[in-house]
Amino acid sequence: MSDRALSDTAPGTPVDVVIEDERWQAAGLEALAARAAAATLRHLGLPPVGEDAPEIVVMGCDDDRIAALNADFRGKPQPTNVLSWPAADPAPRAPGAMPALLDADELGDIAISYDTCAREAAAQGKPLADHATHLLVHAILHLAGYDHEDDADADTMEDAERAILATLDIPDPYREH
C-alpha cells in the first residue's frame, strides 16, 4: 500500500497502525487498536505485549478504500465497517467449538472504515471509540479463526466479544438499544 503513514505504536505492542484517513488519527485509532488487541490476545491466551506477541496490522481508511478492498477480496463492491485477512488458515473445527490456539508470529491484517464506523455508532447511539473497539475485537477474533458462518459459531464468537468488551467496560454490543 503506497501513500500511507505508519503511526508509532507503543514499544512491545503487537499492533502496527497505518492511517490512510486522518480522521482516524483524531479518533485515536492507534490507542483503540492497542487496547482491543491486548484484551483480545489475553482472552485467547496469547501474549498481549512483548516479543512473543503475534503481530496485527490495522489500517484506518475511508469508505472508498474499504469498498475497493471489499470488491477485490469478497466480490462485494460496497463499503463495510471492517475487513480482516488472517495470516494463516484456521484449523477445521466442529460448529460452535473454540478455534485452536494459534502459535504464530503474525495474526494478520485488518482494515476499518471511518465513514461506516462513525455512521453505525451514531445510528446506534454509541460512542465512536466503543464501536470501533468492538469492530477491532471482532476482526482480531476473525484473525484467530473465529467466524459466524452458522448460529453455533456466531454464538461462540459473540460470547467471546462480550467477554472481551466487558473487560474494557464496553457495554454488550448485541443488547437491544
Measured CA distances, 32 to 49, 91, 128, 137, 167 (Å)? 15, 29, 10, 10, 14
CA distance 56 to 141: 11
| 134 annotated as belonging to a binding site for a ligand | no
Measured CA distances, 114 to 38, 61, 138, 139, 169 (Å)? 22, 6, 16, 15, 22
CA distance 100 to 83: 21
β-pair type (55-61, 15-19)? parallel
| 131 annotated as belonging to a binding site for a ligand | no
Residue positions in the annotated binding site?
138, 142, 148
Residue positions in the annotated binding site for Zn(2+)?
138, 142, 148
